[in-house]
Amino acid sequence: MAINAAPAVELEVVEERQRRDLGRLPWTSLVIIAVLVVVAVFAPLIATHSPTEQSLPDKLKPPAWQEGGGREHLLGTDMLGRDLFSRLVYGARVSLTVAAFALLSGGLIGLAVGIVAGYSGGKTDAFLMRVVDATLTFPTILIALLLAVSLGAGLRTIVIAITVIIWARFARVVRGEVLGVKTRDFVSLARVHGCSHVRIMAIHILPNVMNTFMVLLTLHIGFVIIVEASLSFLGAGIPPPTPSWGQMVADGRSHIASAWWLAALPGIAIMLVVLAFNLFGDWLRDWLDPRLRQV
Amino acid sequence: MLLEVRDLHAHLQTRWGLVKAVDGVSFSIETGETLGLVGESGSGKSMTALSLLRLLPSPAGRIVRGQVLLEGEDLVTKSEREMRHVRGRKISMILQDPQTSLNPVFNVGNQLVEALRAHGARGRAMLRKRAEDALRSVKVAAPADRLRAFPHQMSGGMKQRVVGAISIASEPKLLIADEPTTALDVTIQLQYLMLLKDVQARMGLGMLFITHDFGIVARMCDRVAVMYAGRIVETGPVRALFKAPQHPYTQALMASVPRMEGRVTRLPSIEGQPPALHRLPAGCRFAPRCRYAEERCRAQYPSTFAVGGRHEAACWRAELSRT
């Protein structure tokens, strides 16, 4: 009888959990992320000007709310008279594109290496992890600069550079997780039931490290955006005139005393977006934690 | 004869040296029969079981010598690919801890279907029905609802029953149960054992039941093999062995089962420690702890002597009692 009564109780618990979780959703970061995505996708509709069109008579106009600012240029213009608002809008595209491609390639490579290393153990593990260590000892920006110089600046180079940097971070964390998962009995039982190693990695190990992987992804979006901005800031990123937030900060640096908005506004944009993704990642980690699930 | 193990030797390479975890073990199991494998921790019970499946920890562990005949076919010489067909389909296993025996990210239905599919069942509706039947066969209430449940939504006893359902879904010939009730509530233990016995009778399974609990052996097994330091020291029908244990180790082991009637001030125990497996004594491995040990015991490992119908003991004293 007790067994029959059990499912009803559990259903209530599940509903209760869903209600509770909705209340705790990280609304602030979700709104920022949503705005970012919408802006990036519909950039041509949202931007008031072309991001690359120069107009020297209008150069260094302050934002609309400051003395001397006009309705024409909402966030002012840069030293070439380009509309700052429109450049920020198009810059969101660059940031998101780089983040998406770099995370996808770097993340997947890291995931695969981590699972293979953790599951195989022994010499394979030792070898792969030494490669990871070697990768991690290089300063991030140095690798990226080297690659940018040798491959030529551009979107593709940035994606490759960031992939090279982040795969090792993914691999290391995923491997650690796999070490924990593979000692559990269901892995041994899968062997007992005649599964091959490849099948065990794909069917039993992979889904168990997906939580960690998703959290890693979100926590690294911020990192990737910063690396892209840093590279563009150093001149090894997206070549002008394509707007990129990092490059905008770099360009505005020399005018910081006279035209603060040039460096400050893209800087604030980077900060908000990175913060939003990190908050979302934190929330996701808590939400996916199996220990909290089992309550 | 369903399973016949002949002179099996399995060695483990550890940082302390070569460990002879299984050192010349022979036993047999017939269809529908349960053999209890009893011994303390580190006596080689689980290593013996893993050797049968050829799943010794790799690369440290390795079968050095001997035969494992399953329905007459030697498993030791089979290729890895052939072994995958044996595992799950002919030999299946239940492990100790139901908490980790199920994959936490899939619901019960998925995991059952996975096992059924490996056995060759096809078709969504068909698989679903078979999965439900499998749950019903291990007496899970409301099986259709349970298929959607995740492992963390179930109790330990329920999980262990699901593990049982998965391991018999492929209709194996031999089931290895490695202390399947150790992690269960005492009230659930008996229930689970009866269920296993019921399933076994229905399917005509041969069962290798690994435990250190003589109470469970008495309930579950037809025959018992007592292991000590990698070797079987005594084997016989449950009744005969319980009535007249021949090997001093078996006797001592049984004497240390606490009696519930009457007051005791001190629980009896066996003096000393089992020998380190990488530094085994030359003669009988139990000699250092045996109160009957003589010169010969320390010098020479005793042969195995028949002391009754299918009842054998590896002890020089058994030779005396026979003559």
Q: What is the distance, to the nearest Å, from the Cα of residue A144 to the centroid of all Cα atoms in its chain? A: 17
> Could you give the 3-state DSSP secondary structure of residue A138?
coil
Burial B228-265 (b: 16+ CB within 10 A, else e): bbbbbbbbbbbebbeeebbbbbbbbbeeeeeeeeeeee
Q: Distance between CA A89 and CA A47 in Å, rounded?
A: 6
Please give the average per-residue pLDDT across B34-47, as a whole number.
88
* B311 and B235 Cβ atoms separated by less than 8 Å: yes
Q: Does B250 touch chain A (CB under 8 A)?
A: no
A204 secondary structure, DSSP code: I
Contacts of A189 in chain B (CB under 8 A): 93, 95, 101, 163, 166-167
pLDDT at B98 over 60: yes
Tens digits of residue pLDDT in B155-196: 888 888 888 888 888 888 999 998 888 888 888 888 888 888
Tell me which residue of B112, B148, B145 sits closest to B130, measured CA to CA. B112
Between B92, B105, B141, which is nearest A3 by CB? B141
CB count in 10 Å sphere of residue A230: 19
- Nearby residues of A211 by Cβ (< 8 Å), 6 or more positions away: A288, A289, A290
- Give me the pLDDT at residue B221, please: 92
Q: Distance between CA B6 and CA B174 in Å, rounded?
A: 17
In a domain, B136, yes or no: yes
Give domain limits for chain A.
101-289
**Token pair 């590896």 in the structure block, residue:** B314
* A29 and A273 Cβ atoms separated by less than 8 Å: no
pLDDT at A4 over 50: no
In a domain, B60, yes or no: no
* B127 and B113 Cβ atoms separated by less than 8 Å: yes
- Which regions of chain A does DSSP assign to beta strands (E)? none
Total residue count of chain B as it appears in this document: 323
Tens digits of residue pLDDT in B204-257: 899 999 988 888 888 889 999 999 988 999 999 999 888 888 888 998 888 887
For B133, the token pair is: 């039947």
The pLDDT mean for chain B works out to 86
Task: Tell me the fold of A101-289.
Answer: MetI-like fold (1.10.3720)
Beta bridge partners of B62: B11
- Give me the pLDDT at residue B210, please: 92
- Nearby residues of B80 by Cβ (< 8 Å), 6 or more positions away: B54
In a domain, B129, yes or no: yes
CB pairs under 8 A between A and B: 72
Contacts of A290 in chain B (CB under 8 A): 104, 152
- Give me the pLDDT at residue A231, please: 82
For A210, the token pair is: 């997906």
Q: Does B89 touch chain A (CB under 8 A)?
A: yes
- Give me the pLDDT at residue A293, please: 53
A2 pLDDT band (50/70/90 cuts)? very low
pLDDT at A16 over 80: no
Between A7, A194, A294, which is nearest B88 by CB? A194
pLDDT at A270 over 80: yes
In a domain, B104, yes or no: yes
Q: Distance between CA B224 and CA B247 in Å, rounded?
A: 13
Please give, rounded to a whole number of angstroms, the shortest distance from the CA of B149 to a CA of chain A: 9
- Give me the pLDDT at residue A15, please: 54
- Give me the pLDDT at residue A22, please: 55
pLDDT at A148 over 60: yes
Q: Distance between CA A92 and CA A114 in Å, rounded?
A: 31
Please give the average per-residue pLDDT across B30-52, as a whole number.
89
Q: Distance between CA B312 and CA A184 in Å, rounded?
A: 38
Find out whether the peptide bond into B237 is cis, omega within 30 degrees of 0: no
Tens digits of residue pLDDT in A192-231: 887 888 988 888 888 888 888 888 888 888 788 888 888 8
pLDDT at A98 over 90: no
* A154 and A238 Cβ atoms separated by less than 8 Å: yes
A57 secondary structure, DSSP code: G
Tens digits of residue pLDDT in A41-77: 887 777 777 777 777 777 777 776 777 767 777 777 7
* A131 and A67 Cβ atoms separated by less than 8 Å: no
In a domain, B277, yes or no: no
A188/B152 touch (CB, cutoff 8 Å), yes or no: no
- Nearby residues of B289 by Cβ (< 8 Å), 6 or more positions away: B249, B252, B270, B271, B272, B273, B274
Give the least confident one: A225-229, B70-74, B180-184, B258-262. B258-262
Contacts of B97 in chain A (CB under 8 A): 185
Q: Distance between CA A262 and CA A249 in Å, rounded?
A: 7
Q: Distance between CA A187 and CA B169 in Å, rounded?
A: 18
Tens digits of residue pLDDT in A278-295: 888 888 877 776 555 544
Tens digits of residue pLDDT in B113-138: 888 877 776 788 888 888 888 888 88
- Give me the pLDDT at residue A1, please: 40
- Give me the pLDDT at residue A295, please: 41
In a domain, B160, yes or no: yes
Share of chain B above pLDDT 90, in %: 15
Distances (CA, A) of B188 to A259, A294, B182: 76, 22, 11
Please give the average per-residue pLDDT across A20-40, as a whole number.
79
A132 pLDDT band (50/70/90 cuts)? very high
Order of strands across the sheet that contains B34-38: B91-94, B174-178, B206-211, B34-38, B223-228, B231-237, B311-313, B305-308
Between B84, B87, B100, which is nearest A184 by CB? B100
For B89, the token pair is: 């389909």
Find out whether the peptide bond into A240 is cis, omega within 30 degrees of 0: no
Between A10, A189, A293, which is nearest B101 by CB? A189
In a domain, B111, yes or no: yes
In a domain, B62, yes or no: no
For A128, the token pair is: 């792969």
Share of chain B above pLDDT 70, in %: 98
The radius of gyration of chain B from alpha carbons, rounded to an integer in Å, stands at: 21
> Which residue segment(s) compose the domain that B110 sits in?
100-171
Q: Does B46 touch chain A (CB under 8 A)?
A: no
* A135 and A144 Cβ atoms separated by less than 8 Å: no
- Give me the pLDDT at residue B155, please: 85
Q: Distance between CA A168 and CA B143 in Å, rounded?
A: 45
For chain B, the three-class secondary structure string (H helix, E strand, C coil) is CCEEEEEEEEEEEECCEEEEEEEEEEEEECCCCEEEEECCCCCCHHHHHHHHHCCCCCCCEEEEEEEEEECCEECCCCCHHHHHHHECCCEEEECCCHHHHCCCCCCHHHHHHHHHHHCCCCCHHHHHHHHHHHHHHCCCCCHHHHCCCCHHHCCHHHHHHHHHHHHHHCCCCEEEEECCCCCCCHHHHHHHHHHHHHHHHHHCCEEEEEECCHHHHHHHCCEEEEEECCEEEEEEEHHHHHHCCCCHHHHHHHHCCCCCCCCCCCCCCCCCCCCCCCCCCCCCCCHHHCCCCCHHHHHCCCCCEEEECCEEECCHHHHHHHC
Q: What's the total number of domains in chain B?
A: 1
A131 pLDDT band (50/70/90 cuts)? very high
- Give me the pLDDT at residue A12, please: 53
The pLDDT mean for chain A works out to 80
B positions 97-126 inside 8 Å of A (CB): 97, 100-106, 114-115, 118
User: Chain A residue closest to B96 (CA)?
Assistant: A185
